[in-house]
Structure 1
Amino acid sequence: MKKHFRHITLVFFCAFILSGCANLSGHSLFSHYSASIKSSRQALYQGQIQGALDSLPDEPAGAILDGMERGRLTLLAGDYTASFAALQKSDNAVKEQQNAARIQVSEGLNQAGALFTNDNMISYQASDYELGFLHLYLALNYIHNRDLNGALVEMRRANQVQEAAKQQRESELASVESQLRKEGLADNIGSVLARYPNAGQTLAAVQNGYLFYLSGMLYEADGNLNDAYIDFKRALAVAPDNPYVAEAVQRLAERLSMTDDQQLLAKKYGPWQSPQSGTGRLIILDEQGVVQAPEGWRLPLWLYNSQGQSVLYNLALPHYPPRPAVLPGKLSLNNRLLTVPPLVNVDQMAKQNLNETLPVRVLRQSLRVIAKEQVRQSAARNGDEVGNVLANIFNTLTEQPDTRSWQTLPAQVALYQEDLPPGSHQIQWQGRSVDAEVKPGRTTMVWISRQGQSMSGWSVLLGGN
């Protein structure tokens, strides 16, 4: 009778933990995010945008990621109303989450569930680079609708939310370091971090040159040359080898009479050549490929149990295996092949973000595998063989890596700029094209996104040069 009672207790305890988790789903409990949207990503890789939308599961990781994925895919599909609505849904979910007082109780249940299941049970918090892209794509929707003021608001918000997310992450990492020392796990987890493939931190991996350049371009179109100059310089710090970013900085340095900057820039990039009279500026923002998705990675970890014995546990962590990005070929402008240098490497940003959050992930995993093992040992000591077997099965099935991330983003974004005579010009690729009207003294922005054999794109005439 006692064995039967202990067995029932274990089952009902697990049921209580799981039922209390707001994020409970089959995807988060017995699988992981990358696996749940694999079909959608495969369709996107092949350029089948509608197929990617149709196979996207319904909120496998909550409203924030769902809004991001759907907002991106509907933008590629040309459904700007649906794109804006989905991105706003994600934005509203982020705002609600950031109100800590409102989510404290429910998040406590999620954390408890995560201690006995996996990190996928914790409410997803978008990284700072993802929040930057969220507002960037909201801004692109505004630009497409010729709403420059709305786009500028999103650019300002992007800088604010990225900074807030960065501060929150730094605070969380400091808390984790303190807890590692308290739990006596610093040496064990240090060995895990030493074996984990390191992305390597560079400025380009933590700052978004795409966002900075787009912001500078919009400020310049609005006549705010000082703010434009600041953001162009930030873009150049991220992408110092991009000649078109350097050209934008030199152009603004000339217009603002930044003599010292002009001299320094000329030494590195050569003297700036002013455009011919009567021309207009064509700027192409070229999104390429699909960002890499994290995969599961099993790693052994030796820890001491409550009896002081060294026990081998297995951690399930997200991981980006070495894999070259699949990028499309060259664009053409009026049947002339273009060299379009990169502005941002999104793969690199995703890997760096994972690397930065790794100590937090490893600590949670270590505490979790210990807690699961204690439940199993308790059942074994009490002679509850059924409970012991159930605990083993439960532990194995629920230990899933947290692979949640925005997985429909491009792999990289490139930039091209040229001063052209007025008239209609055409950007071409594999039989597809986008028309762009150039006017004297004006800037024409062309947005293009290419995945598989698909090309989405449009052009819009901005303010003066």
Structure 2
Amino acid sequence: MINIRRYILQASSVIGLMLFLLGCASYNDRIIPYYKNISAGNYKAAETELDKNSLLQKPRNQLLFLMEKGRVAHLNGEYNNSNTYFNQADSLLEQGLTSTADEAVGVLLNPMSQRYKGEDFEKFMIHYYKALNYMYLNNTEDAIVEARRISLQAQEQGDKFNNKDKRYSNDAFSLMLQGMLYESNNDINNAFISYRNAAEIYLKAPDKTYYGTPMPLGLQQDVIRTASLNGFTTEADQFEKTFGITYQPQKPSEGGDLIFFWENGLAPVKTQVDLFFSLIRNSDGDLFFTDAAGGLVLPFYYNGDRNRVNTKSVESLRVAWPKYVAQTPYFSSAIITANQTQIPLQKAEDINQLAFKTLQQRTLNEMGKILSRLAAKKIAEYALRASAKSGDGKNNSLLEGLGYGVQLYSLLSEKADTRNWQTLPANISYARIPLQKGENQITITLKNARGTDETKTIKVNGTGRLQFYNYSTLR
């Protein structure tokens, strides 16, 4: 007689081993060739690696693929192509990436098997690169459309958290960029509103910083300057008192200004950590998960009869959770020199801090969902094994084998979602540079941790208008 249980266990072991071997590599591990070429500045080679990466070709990773394609095209100076990819990414986000089938995949397998939906700050960064692309293509009209889309993105984020949650729901840097874009179109009224909204985000924070970034002096000056240009004298005086500065109006530069963005380092990568929880019942009969240290206590979201759940049968649960690992940028500081004048760079966006803190903010909510999913699997496993036991002492080999199969599958299929848009910079600094009419020579002097300097010189033609330039050191 064929031992069904033995064959089920063998098959389950083979399947489980395959899942384990395929699943233990993180997303970063599987895109290393592309990532290394980006760091080395070999953007054409990076694009080739991106196109042949089988993981990124999967439908569930389409958003990531489009964001990376848009990014590498931007780095290559292919601004039309870059926006083609970013527009497709935007369309995916507008259509929505959540479905019943996709949610079921998350329940039966793991979050890594679901469609990638993007981090909230990544969605704002799409607008940043699209706007720059349009400005480089001398398409101010579409750049202004992108500026308006920043407000729509902020509104969507606010609705997501009901405007009461203190989690990341707006982006101060994006609002600063929005003000700059309006200003480039001589829309000083909307520029003031954007700068003011950005400043208020900082002012509302207890320590007057925003995700690791103090309010830039340039933003303070822009708020007061545009308030004055609009004739809003009361507002200008009020912000001078609030910021503790006395603004001295400057004569506009004949050649206009250059907004210089320095994108330094690379965003953190995600790895997987294993956390262990137990299921407990309190004195009221309610079920909760608690970690080994007792620092986290989370309710059990279960659709079945909680009173019939045997907490001893659930035992210990392993949760695979994503963890960010920061990458130290090669360059630690930089100085801008324009027309024999040094101009300091000011940090405007710290993507490292955003990544760490936004993941921390959603930990409790998502951890509860994962634990409930794992417990449901565990309950199903023990139900099968319990059903295999008959009253005469004989076991049903098929049901028992299936029970052990579910146990092995549940153990080895658990995997954290380690995907993220990894070619974003670690942080972005900026400077507003006054230009002379005609040719201007601008030098950025970069200093690494060893104190060694590297220089990059660009030439900008002062036209009397506000211009943009972004420079990336992605290593």
TM-score range, shorter chain: 0.7 to 0.9
Contact residue 70 and residue 81 of structure 2 kept, 8 A: yes
| Alpha-carbon displacement from aligned partner over 1:306-331 (angstroms, at most 9, x marks no partner) | 32326211111111246655545414
Residue in structure 2 matched with residue 269 of structure 1 by the alignment: 245
Residue in structure 2 matched with residue 210 of structure 1 by the alignment: 173
Q: Given the alignment, which residue of 242, 255, 260 partners 2:229?
A: 255
Question: In the alignment, is residue 342 of structure 1 matched against residue 347 of structure 2?
Answer: yes
Relative to structure 1, the CA distance from residue 391 to residue 215 in structure 2 (aligned partners, 3 Å threshold; closer, same or farther) is same
Q: Given the alignment, which residue of 15, 21, 36 partners 1:42?
A: 36
Residue in structure 2 matched with residue 96 of structure 1 by the alignment: 95
What is the Cα deviation at residue 151 of structure 1? 0.8
Bigger CA radius of gyration: 2
Matched residue SS, 1:272: coil
Aligned-partner Cα distance in 2 for 1:249–1:446: 22
Aligned-partner Cα distance in 1 for 2:22–2:74: 27
What is the Cα deviation at residue 71 of structure 1? 0.7
Aligned-partner Cα distance in 1 for 2:103–2:193: 41
Residue in structure 1 matched with residue 319 of structure 2 by the alignment: 315
Relative to structure 1, the CA distance from residue 142 to residue 250 in structure 2 (aligned partners, 3 Å threshold; closer, same or farther) is same
Residue in structure 1 matched with residue 4 of structure 2 by the alignment: 4
Matched residue SS, 1:446: strand
Contact residue 9 and residue 404 of structure 2 kept, 8 A: no
Matched residue SS, 2:360: helix
Residue 78 of structure 2 aligns to which amino acid in structure 1? D
Task: Indicate the larger mover: 427-436 or 29-38.
Answer: 29-38
Contact residue 221 and residue 247 of structure 2 kept, 8 A: no
Q: Given the alignment, which residue of 346, 364, 368 partners 1:359?
A: 364
Question: In the alignment, is residue 281 of structure 1 matched against residue 223 of structure 2?
Answer: no
- Decide which structure has greater helix share: 1
Task: Indicate the larger mover: 299-308 or 312-321.
Answer: 299-308
Which residues of structure 2 form unaligned runs of 5+?
A: 203-212, 281-307, 389-396, 445-453
Aligned-partner Cα distance in 2 for 1:272–1:352: 37
How many residue pairs were aligned?
A: 405
1:353-432 superposed matches below 5 A? 353-378=358-383, 380-381=385-386, 382=388, 383=397, 386-387=401-402, 390-429=405-444, 430-432=454-456
Residue 87 of structure 2 aligns to which amino acid in structure 1? Q
Aligned-partner Cα distance in 2 for 1:348–1:445: 25
Matched residue SS, 1:347: helix
Relative to structure 1, the CA distance from residue 432 to residue 48 in structure 2 (aligned partners, 3 Å threshold; closer, same or farther) is same
Aligned-partner Cα distance in 1 for 2:33–2:362: 27
Question: In the alignment, is residue 221 of structure 1 matched against residue 154 of structure 2?
Answer: no
What is the Cα deviation at residue 366 of structure 1? 0.6
Residue 147 of structure 2 aligns to which amino acid in structure 1? M
TM-score (norm 1): 0.76
Matched residue SS, 1:262: helix
Aligned-partner Cα distance in 2 for 1:327–1:145: 30
Relative to structure 1, the CA distance from residue 30 to residue 376 in structure 2 (aligned partners, 3 Å threshold; closer, same or farther) is farther
Matched residue SS, 1:296: strand
Contact residue 147 and residue 182 of structure 2 kept, 8 A: no
Contact residue 296 and residue 319 of structure 1 kept, 8 A: yes
Residue in structure 2 matched with residue 150 of structure 1 by the alignment: 142
Relative to structure 1, the CA distance from residue 277 to residue 323 in structure 2 (aligned partners, 3 Å threshold; closer, same or farther) is closer
Residue in structure 2 matched with residue 436 of structure 1 by the alignment: 460
Contact residue 329 and residue 426 of structure 2 kept, 8 A: yes
Relative to structure 1, the CA distance from residue 29 to residue 78 in structure 2 (aligned partners, 3 Å threshold; closer, same or farther) is same
Residue in structure 2 matched with residue 59 of structure 1 by the alignment: 57
Contact residue 322 and residue 417 of structure 2 kept, 8 A: yes
Aligned-partner Cα distance in 2 for 1:167–1:330: 38
Relative to structure 1, the CA distance from residue 327 to residue 209 in structure 2 (aligned partners, 3 Å threshold; closer, same or farther) is farther
| Alpha-carbon displacement from aligned partner over 1:160-216 (angstroms, at most 9, x marks no partner) | 133224423559x99xxxxxxxxxxxxxxxxxxxxxxxxxx78xx654233212211
Question: In the alignment, is residue 235 of structure 1 matched against residue 198 of structure 2?
Answer: yes
TM-score (norm 2): 0.75
Which residues of structure 1 form unaligned runs of 5+?
A: 16-24, 175-200, 453-465
Aligned-partner Cα distance in 1 for 2:349–2:93: 24
- Percent identical: 21
Contact residue 6 and residue 401 of structure 2 kept, 8 A: no
